[in-house]
Amino acid sequence: MNLLEGKVAIITGATRGIGKGILETFVANGAKVAFTYASSAEVAKAIEKEFEGVKGYQSDAGDFDAAQELVNQVLEDFGQIDIVINNAGITKDNLLMRMSHEDWQKVIQVNLDSAFNLTKAVLRPMLKQRKGSIINMSSIVGITGNAGQANYAASKAGLIGFSKSVAQELGSRNIRCNVVAPGFIETEMTAKLDEKVVDEWRNSIPLKRGGTPEDIANACLFLGSDLSSYVTGQVISVDGGMHM
C-alpha cells in the first residue's frame, strides 16, 4: 500500500540511523524524497543510486539562509513539498557544571534552531497549496530530562513547545505539525556501546527490546500520510513503554 504516493518529503540528516530508516520507508510507500546531509557526500551519492526518486542536498541545518536555499532548490527539482521531517540532531553530553557555553549553543542550534529554520522556509509553499505535514523529531529525554544531557533535553523539549504552537497557528490552513519522541533506538551508534549496558537498557523497557529505525519510520509514515489527517499538535512516544 503506497500511503505516500504523489507526495514529496524533505528529511534532514538522512544518511544513517533513524533518518535513513525514514527515507527507506517513505520511498517504499511511494514518496519522492529530498534528504540533507552535513558532510557524508559519498554516502549520500550511494543512497541516491540505491533509491529511485531520491536526491541529496548538502546543507547546514542550523543556518537560516541555507534552509531557505534548500527549500527553493527542492521546489525547483521536485515541484512541491508535502512533508518535512526535522530529524537532524547532535549530542554533546556533559554534566551542567562541566558543560561549555559552546556545547550548549551548538546543540540548541542544530537540534532546535534547525527546525525553526526549515519550518519557516517551507511555510510559503505549504500555505500556497493549503496542505502539509511537519514532523519534528524530539526524544523521550525531551519529556523526562536526563542527567548529563541538559542541552540535548532542552533542545528536544523546545521542539515539543514549538510544534504545538505551529499546529495552532497553521491548523486552519490544513498544515499539521506533530512530534515523534523516540526512546532507546538501536542504530550504528548504539552498536558501539558495551553489550552489558545495552542489555540493561533493554531489560528496563516494558517491551524488553530496543527500538529500530523502522519503528520510528512507521510513526512518521502515519503522520506524513492522509491516515493522520485529523492529528496535529501531538507527541507520539515510540519508546517501548519507557515513559507512560
Q: What is the mean pLDDT of each run of 10 residues along the chain (244 residues)?
A: 94 94 97 94 95 95 94 98 96 96 96 97 97 97 95 98 98 98 86 81 92 97 98 97 86
Residue 149 pLDDT: 95
Q: Is 156 annotated as a binding residue?
A: yes
pLDDT value, residue 198: 84
Q: Is 153 annotated as a binding residue?
A: yes
Q: Is 224 annotated as a binding residue?
A: no
pTM: 0.95
- The pLDDT, as a whole number, for residue 180 is 98
CATH 3.40.980.10 assigned to 8-186+213-237: no
Alpha carbons 190 and 211: distance in angstroms, whole number: 11
* pLDDT confidence of residue 39: 85
pLDDT for residue 131: 97
Give the whole-angstrom CA distance, residue 193 versus residue 216.
21
Please list the active-site residues. 152
What is the grid cell recorded at 228?
A: 493522520
pLDDT of residue 233: 98
| pLDDT of the residue at 201 | 85
